[in-house]
Amino acid sequence: MSLRFSHRSLSQQVLFGSGQAAEHLAAEVARLGAQRVMVIASPRERRLAERVCARIDVTVWHDGVAEHVPVHVAERGRAVAAERAADLLVSVGGGSTTGLAKAVALTTGLPIVAVPTTYAGSEATNVWGMTEDATKTTGVDDRVLPGTVIYDAELTLSLPVPLSVASGLNGLAHCVDSMWAPRADPINRALAAEGIRALATGLPRVITDPAGLPGREHALYGAYLAAVAFASAGSGLHHKICHVLGGTFDLPHAETHATVLPYVLAYNAPFAPGAAARIAQALGRPADPDEPRAAAEAAVAGLSELRARLGAPTALRDYGLAAEDIPDAVARVLRAAPPSNPRPVSEENLTALLTAAWSGATPSVDPDIPAAPLVPATEAR
């Protein structure tokens, strides 16, 4: 069969170097000719942000950051930008901080320079998200894509190990979802596989040497690749589930993604053996895509082994989801689930998936799935 696909790459500059954030930011502000810089950073990140911004003039500091970007938080950020006539947004922080900068840029058109301090990956996508009335809405708009991303692993040294793990696994979830998302293609699958390898290399090093830079540099590199793959491939079932859990039930973003990931992988992998084999290979478990069950089991085993080494989050009930919330979550996910998901999604199987993730049951491939299910002919190996 001939190779045919459509792929889009986003235009963005990436500056990567430990200890160089302040230098890189000053150069970018000068290059852009910005005169009135609005810096967005949470109170917890303020001292770090001051270090990063030491060589530039800041017109206004804004710390009204909240997880899942409630609409009223976005509106306040937009008002501050207008009041102070900002001509450049600089976000210093994790996904919530980047998300607020995106929400401001969505309506103002202001450019963004993003300086991530976690492995969230939002800085490398043109995806925005906001929450209102217990519903998280997401969209795609090139206005929210940061024009420049400044990666400096030194800025992640203060990120506690448990949050580093959850944030890194959130990045890995971008990779896994990109393997079968609506716009998955050979290029974003290749990026995702390399992202998995980098994260699986870096995160264990963060555990054993939290103050060392090599592990954190690998994790940042992997998180960037994960986000680029995700921006190209689109949002798959995993992200639809986590957007519901975060937006409706106010579950913490990174921990939710880290917890749900192995269950979605176990659910989808047998129906996408080419993707499963790529994931398994990236996790150090070579597998044959012509053996769907074996490839799926290898991918799940590889991820489970990595999660055990990292001491990853295991149960949604630990983060505030109640058992009685599951039916509402299932109904909401059913409305959002991508039709292109490799395995059909139903109320019954989504309930089983979320119940397992709620309780922390061991993720495993469903034994009732045939050893060689039908696979869409378009799946790339």
Per-residue 3-state assignment (H helix, E strand, C coil) for 219-251: HHHHHHHHHHHHHHHCCCHHHHHHHHHHHHHCC
Helix (H, G, I), strand (E, B) or coil at 158: coil
Contacts of 340 (CB under 8 A, 6+ apart): 180, 181, 182
Would you state the structure tokens that stand for residue 273, as one six-digit string? 């053996």
- The pLDDT assigned to 134 comes to 83
* DSSP string covering 16-54: E-TT-HHHHHHHHHHHHT-SSEEEE--GGGHHHHHHHTT
- The pLDDT assigned to 5 comes to 82
State the SS3 of 249-305: HCCCHHHHHHHHHHHHHHHHHHHCHHHHHHHHHHCCCCCCCCCHHHHHHHHHHHHHH
Contact 65, 100 (CB under 8 A): yes
Encoded amino acid at 333, one letter: V
DSSP letter at 376?
-
- The pLDDT assigned to 378 comes to 44
- pLDDT tens digits in sequence order for the chain, 381 residues long: 578 888 887 889 999 999 999 999 999 999 999 999 999 999 999 999 999 999 999 999 999 999 999 999 999 999 999 999 999 999 999 999 999 999 999 999 999 999 999 998 999 999 999 999 888 898 999 999 999 999 999 999 999 999 999 999 999 999 999 999 999 999 999 999 999 999 999 999 999 999 999 999 999 999 999 999 999 999 999 999 999 999 999 999 999 999 999 999 999 999 999 999 999 999 999 999 999 999 999 999 999 999 999 999 999 999 999 999 999 999 999 999 999 999 999 999 999 999 999 999 999 998 877 666 555 434 544
Q: What are the structural domains of the chain?
A: 13-156 (3.40.50.1970), 161-359 (1.20.1090.10)
Would you state the structure tokens that stand for residue 252, as one six-digit string? 């913490």
Contact 181, 230 (CB under 8 A): yes
- The pLDDT assigned to 267 comes to 97
Would you state the structure tokens that stand for residue 139, as one six-digit string? 């969209």
- The pLDDT assigned to 3 comes to 80
- The pLDDT assigned to 8 comes to 81
Would you state the structure tokens that stand for residue 315, as one six-digit string? 């149960």
- The pLDDT assigned to 210 comes to 96
- The pLDDT assigned to 86 comes to 98
Contact 25, 52 (CB under 8 A): yes
